[in-house]
């Protein structure tokens, strides 16, 4: 079994276990809270109340600011108080990125008129993907919604944010050197307080369906 197949199997097993945990918890709780993810190993942490949350969940997406496809500054300050889904792509990618973008459009269709949900695509080749390039890509391959932001900027800062804040490369976490190329199929669901609440394989339709359900759930039940 190759590396990609192993990662896919591992993600399905993890999703199966999480869904079963959510089912068990829902039998004893009036709400169906999504787990939190506090470390690069993505072990789910379930929280009962806000007091426990503050003591237990210490990880948040760090402050950042990059340049969006319109040439404007966009960053964490614009995402506070909103749910967002993040992924990492590059416009010249011909492998997994087209499928990831197509699947993100499915999310866009559901939330394009919801200002409380943002989609954020970071380029991993910022030396090639200028704001103008990203804007052309967005107009060609998406519905061009205002709440989907394509970001470019300093490579080192983007890669550090991806690995240390978004845990974008699940099995690698903090150990990956910033000079190594970042390429991941993961979509990350982040809540209004910049805490990670879900990880999904962005190339798989069933994972996208679950992501959409989780966004609705997170929008209803959050603390």
Which helix (H) or strand (E) segment is 120 a member of? strand 117-123
CA atoms of 144 and 139, how far apart (whole Å): 5
What pLDDT sits at residue 30?
A: 37
What pLDDT sits at residue 10?
A: 53
What pLDDT sits at residue 49?
A: 85
* CATH assignment at residue 193: 3.40.30.10
What pLDDT sits at residue 206?
A: 97
**Containing structural domain, residue 68:** 3-220
How far, CA to CA in Å, does 144 sit from each of 74, 133, 141, 150, 203? 17, 14, 8, 11, 20
Select from 216, 167, 211, 222 the least CA-distant residue to 15: 211
What pLDDT sits at residue 33?
A: 84
Which helix (H) or strand (E) segment is 190 a member of? strand 186-190
CB atoms within 10 A of CB 91: 21
Structurally, how many domains does the chain consist of?
1
What pLDDT sits at residue 32?
A: 53
What pLDDT sits at residue 174?
A: 40
Q: Give Dmax over CA atoms of the chain in angstroms.
A: 51
CA atoms of 12 and 214, how far apart (whole Å): 16
What pLDDT sits at residue 119?
A: 98
What pLDDT sits at residue 222?
A: 58
Select from 166, 205, 169 the least CA-distant residue to 188: 166
Segments in the chain below pLDDT 70: 1-32, 170-179, 222-223
What pLDDT sits at residue 13?
A: 52
What pLDDT sits at residue 220?
A: 87
């Amino acid at each position: 079994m190759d590396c990609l197949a192993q990662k896919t199997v591992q993600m399905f097993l993890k999703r199966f276990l999480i869904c079963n945990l959510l089912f068990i918890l829902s039998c004893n709780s009036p709400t169906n809270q999504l787990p939190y993810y506090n470390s690069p190993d993505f072990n789910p942490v379930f929280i009962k109340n806000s007091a426990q949350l503050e003591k237990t969940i210490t990880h948040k997406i760090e402050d950042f600011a990059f340049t969006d496809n319109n040439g404007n500054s966009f960053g964490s300050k614009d995402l506070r108080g909103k749910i967002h889904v993040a992924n990492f792509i590059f416009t010249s990618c011909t492998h997994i990125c087209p499928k990831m973008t197509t699947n993100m459009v499915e999310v866009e269709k559901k939330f394009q008129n919801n200002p409380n949900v943002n989609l954020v695509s970071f380029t991993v080749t910022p030396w090639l993907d200028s704001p103008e390039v990203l804007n052309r890509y967005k107009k060609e391959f998406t519905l061009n919604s205002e709440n989907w932001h394509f970001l470019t900027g300093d490579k080192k800062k983007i890669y550090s944010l991806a690995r240390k804040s978004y845990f974008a490369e699940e099995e690698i976490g903090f150990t990956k050197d910033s000079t190594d190329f970042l390429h991941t199929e993961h979509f990350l669901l982040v809540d209004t307080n910049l805490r990670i609440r879900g990880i999904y394989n962005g190339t798989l339709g069933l994972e996208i369906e679950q992501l959409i359900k989780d966004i609705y759930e997170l929008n209803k039940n959050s603390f």
